[in-house]
Structure formats: structure tokens, C-alpha cells
Amino acid sequence: MKLDLGPDADIYVARVDWTPDSKAILVQRQSRDQKRLDLIEFDPATGHGRERLTETSPTWVNLSDDLRILPDGRLVWTSERDGFRHLFLARDGALEQVTSGPWGIDRIVGVDEKQGKVFFLAGIETPIEKHLYAVDLPAAGMPAAPPRRLTEPGGWHDASMDKTGTRALITRSTPTQPPQTYLADADGKRIAWIEENRIEENRVEGEHPYAPYFAGHIAPEFGTLAADDGTPLHYSHLCPTLAPGEKAPALVIVYGGPGVGPLAARRWGNAVSQWFVRRGWHVFSLDNRGTSGRGKAFEDPIHRQMGDVEVRDQKVGVDWLRARADVDADRIAVHGWSYGGFMVLRLLAAHPGLFAAGASGAPVTDWSLYDTHYTERYLGNPAIDKGPYEQSGVLGVAETIDDPLLVIHGMADDNVVFENTTALVAKMQKDGTLFEVMIYPGQTHGISGAPDRIHLWRTIADFFDRRLGLPEGRRR
């Protein structure tokens, strides 16, 4: 039987679920402009449906996988209708809010139907941490109790649960502890280690792969800076060991786009940042407006103008770096990948001379070449209005890029297709701009495999060392 999805064929069928008794099908129907999401319950025998829920937004409605269907027909649902993703319970035609506050749910990970509990990941206390929480579903007409945190503070957690919501696999890390995974009960109590992976400073070399390097491990410092409208922006900063009065170069690592977790987070960092800080570099990252995890109002400024507010926010972070007495303001470099690669190009175009060099990896340069569902969410339908695409691309501003630039791309990239880089190369060649390019045949969006990964970072480091004019003693 064909389901009647309505007269408008220009829609997205975003999610499809059977009810537990297999008597109905729940379809999430999203409008082409992504400003409306309808949850429709269909009778599979007749194909007729009725709307159960509707979400609307003047910008866009974010999708999730949080729908849970209880045996009695109630729906567990998350919505950003108050500006943050919160838990709702749908019953008897009404939608009842269960959680609230200036924080958002990352995702639901489990439901204990017998006990009436929902488990979810969020950063209630601070957005630079993520924890597992539990909340009781309230009885009809009763107020909801506040959520309970089940994981210890000071770290970043991920979790998955069994179908009964009574056991959880939790992975935890901190800035000084690599990821650990353990089995926990419904109260978060550890039952058994799956992989303890513990590292302590007094461990002898050989007991842990990172033990030989842990003595020189630099933990980040965290803080906030004010955007031009006063919005607090979280940052992380790795500071090298310096002699009194010594100045060091700085590397800004940027992502800046929606849908990806923060760079400024209390979790185990990447080896590349540690490598640069041990070479005597400051390493800095800031989460600008538009990134996820801070609520819908924090994301919305990029609507129909990507590469604008994000650049302004990143400039706040760079200005903070330049004002530090231990930073060589003439030797600040920037690197990013994917949306971060796009951000590198927009930063160089908007602020010539701000950076001594930029390395742009797998950048989007023309948003009409990227995924339709993703791009139209933020920039609209180009068949109706091309303006946001022209304003948010790189090709129209590439002529102002004059600082040393390295562009990197995998030739088999099926996410940000290689044509993005060839279009930029052609534009800059016609403009007479000199730049450097490194391509990786056969590689997709992420450069994989040890030989190519090592080559990638040796290439980036060599480019920065040359372009920043670092003395040989710094190139270690």
C-alpha cells in the first residue's frame, strides 16, 4: 500500500519507523526548505495518515534520531522549540516538556520502559564536557524531576545502551587520560572495565604506548572570549614551555561548521596538537557561532551567510593570541579541514596579513558543489535565490587572498569533491596568485593510512616552517 505523503512531492522523507506492535508506521516528513518537520502516523493497510507532531523554525529544523515509541503508544521526542534540544513526551494529543534549561540534549541513548526512564548525553553543567544523564518520565499532570548525572565530572563521555535501558557501555576521556570504556548499570556505576587504558605519570616506559611521552604532555587551558555581540565563545589553548620573555609562533586549528562537536572540550586531544606544542608552538582553537552544542540561537547566525559570523568570531580569538606577550604576533598560522578548510580560505580573504600562512584541507569553495540537503538547510534553494551561495563561497573573494597558502585535497574525495579545489586553483591562477598544492591520489575526504598521514603532517609542518621563516633550531 502506498503511503499518502501529501500533494507536495518536493519533500524529504527523513525518518521511517514501525510502532512496536507493527500496526502503524511513523514517517518524518521534512519540507524542501527544512523549516517544517511533520511526524505522521500511517495505517499501513490503507495508506492514510494523521499528523502527530509538527516542528517549525524561521531558519531550519535540525533532524535527530531521538524518537522512541513506548508500548502504550506514547512518544519520546526531542525538540528545539524553546531554543535548546529538550525531551518531550507526547500522549493523548498533547506534547509535554520533560527537560528544560539553557543546555541541549546531544542525543538519547536508551529508554527503560519498565522504570519509565530516559538516558541521554548532554553538557548541562558546561558545554565543554559531555555526560550521561537519566531522567524519569513524569506521570500525567505531574512536574518532571531534574535529570541526574551518571558520569563523573571533568571529562567527555559517549555511551550506548541495551534495549532495556539497564546496561550502558560508556567511553570516557579527559585532557590527561586517553579514552577508557567500561560497562555500567543504570545508575552509572561501573560493573567492569572493557578497556581501562589507564595512563599515569609514574608509569614506567613500556606499560602504556603513550608512557614515553606522557611526561611532556601539555594539557590545554580553557576559557571564554566575548563575540562582538557579547556571546561567550569557548576556546582551548596549549601553551609551550618557554623561557621568560620568549615569544613563540602559534597555530590556530579551526573547524567552525555546524553538526560537529566542539574543539574546545575536556577530552583527550589529538597527537598533532601535542606534536606542535612540543615543537614550541602555541596551539589554539575557538568554537565560533554556528557550531553545534550550544543551542539553536548559537547556530542560527550562519543562516544564509556562511563564512561571515564565523570569521568575525575567529578574529576575536586571533586578536587574543596576538595580544599575549608570549606569542609572536607575526608568526601565527591557521589550519583547518573540510569546513575548517573553507574557514581558512575565508579568514585569509577577509583579513590579509592577519596570518603568516594558512593550510586549507579539503575545502568547500563553491557550496553549489556540496550535498544538497546540508547546504540548502543553511543557504536555501539556489534555484530560488543564488545570492547566499555567491556571498558564502570562496571563489568570489579568492582574489583578496595574498598570504602564503597551501591547499590539500584527496583526489577521490566523495564528500567535498575534488572539483572544489580545481575551481579554486583555476581562479587563483587567473588572478596571478602564487600558492602551493598537495594532492593525494586515491584518498577520500580523510587522508588515511600511516604513510600518507605522516606525509600530510610533514608537508604542513614544512610549509609553516618555511613560510613563517622559523629558524632551524625551531624546526624539531
Cβ(75)–Cβ(68) under 8 Å?
A: yes
Cβ(167)–Cβ(178) under 8 Å?
A: no
Give ∠ CA 365-370-373 in degrees, rounded to 5: 140
Task: Considering the candidates 308, 445, 452, 455, report the single residue annotated as catalytic.
Answer: 445
Sign of CA dihedral 462, 463, 468, 469: positive
Q: Which of 473, 447, 235, 465 is nearest to 333 (CA)?
A: 465
Active site residue 445: yes
Beta strand residue intervals within 36-79, DSSP E: 36-42, 49-56, 68-69, 75-79
Cβ(93)–Cβ(51) under 8 Å?
A: no
Angle between helices 339-350 and 309-322 (to 10 degrees): 70
**Other beta carbons less than 10 A from residue 202's beta carbon:** 7
Task: Considering the candidates 338, 360, 366, 409, report the single residue annotated as catalytic.
Answer: 338
Bridge pairing between strands 405-410 and 357-361: parallel
Task: Considering the candidates 38, 66, 403, 413, report the single residue annotated as catalytic.
Answer: 413
CA–CA distances in Å: residue 89 to residues 26, 75, 96, 122, 339: 16, 6, 5, 18, 35
Active site residue 368: no
Helix and strand numbers (H, E) in the chain are 9, 24
C-alpha to C-alpha distance for 30 and 64, rounded to whole angstroms: 12
Encoded amino acid at 90, one letter: A
Catalytic residues: 338, 413, 445
